[in-house]
């Protein structure tokens, strides 16, 4: 209903239950396949007590609320690739595939209280919203090689798509260095999905730096 929920990286690190990000790629000739996945589970709880007054005069009654909010998400992309450009200084692949967005937001609460010294019966409950969308995506990925012996490189990735969602997209760009036995990479990654009207979520966006 138009409510924005923004989670800063410091809050995520303080309240992280679990996170996993990875990718796998296979290639034969010009054709290839890759899958990329991101999983995150973050949550936090809070307790607070409120006393009551009438006209500024305290009355012998209070209530305590214990709440817990949990946000869990999976984003999985699978695609086939075809190498359109292959040269010592650069290569580029076209891609086409499928993306799944699976997001769940859950709130639990428990209310207890007293009137004078008489406890009031507990009130507890849970509310959650969940969405799982599948979208077709197309895009391109590749890298530019430069520097001495072309050990430095600039990778890039971009895709767009739609299906169960109105619109989904992802982009990544950075710089890396090849040691021969392996590579190190620093990049910035952005993912966004605009859901259709009437869904529990309006949109989902996450972005930040990545090291590998």
DSSP structure string for 184-199: EEEEEEEEEEEPPTTS
* Confidence at residue 120, expressed as pLDDT on a 0 to 100 scale: 67
3-class SS at 12?
A: helix
E strands in 55-148: 57-87, 90-115, 118-146
Closest CA to 102 of 132, 139, 72, 147: 132
Burial of 75: CB neighbours in 10 Å, binned 0-12, 13-18, 19+: buried
- Residue 166 phi, psi (nearest 5): -65, -40
Provide the b/e sequence for 76-105 (b: ≥16 CB within 10 Å). Answer: ebebebeeeeeeeeeebbbbebebebebbb
* Confidence at residue 3, expressed as pLDDT on a 0 to 100 scale: 67
Identify the helix (H) or strand (E) that includes residue 14.
Answer: helix 9-14
3-class SS at 149?
A: helix
Rounded CA-CA distance 79/32 in Å is: 9
* Confidence at residue 9, expressed as pLDDT on a 0 to 100 scale: 72
Closest CA to 151 of 184, 174, 121: 184
Tokens of 42: 């973050």
* Confidence at residue 50, expressed as pLDDT on a 0 to 100 scale: 74
* Confidence at residue 1, expressed as pLDDT on a 0 to 100 scale: 56
Residues of the chain with pLDDT under 50: none
């Amino acid at each position: 209903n138009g409510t924005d929920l923004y989670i800063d990286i410091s809050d995520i690190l303080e309240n992280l239950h679990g996170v996993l990000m990875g990718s796998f790629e296979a290639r034969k000739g010009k054709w290839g396949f890759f899958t990329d996945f991101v999983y995150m589970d973050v949550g936090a709880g809070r307790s607070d007590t409120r006393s009551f007054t009438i006209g500024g005069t305290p009355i012998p009654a209070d209530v305590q609320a214990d709440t817990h909010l949990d946000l869990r998400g999976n984003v999985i992309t699978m695609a086939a690739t075809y190498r359109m450009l292959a040269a010592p200084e650069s290569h580029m692949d076209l891609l086409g595939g499928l993306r799944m967005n699976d997001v769940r937001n859950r709130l639990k609460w428990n209310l207890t209280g007293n009137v004078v010294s008489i406890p009031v019966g507990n009130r507890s409950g849970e509310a959650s919203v969940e969405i799982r969308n599948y979208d077709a995506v197309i895009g391109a990925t590749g890298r530019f090689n430069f520097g001495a012996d072309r050990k430095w490189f600039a990778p890039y990735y971009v895709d767009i798509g739609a299906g169960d969602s109105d619109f989904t997209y992802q982009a990544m760009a950075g710089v890396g260095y090849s040691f021969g036995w392996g590579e190190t990479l620093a990049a910035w990654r952005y993912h966004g999905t605009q859901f259709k009207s009437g869904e529990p979520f309006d949109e989902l966006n996450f972005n930040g730096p990545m090291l590998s």
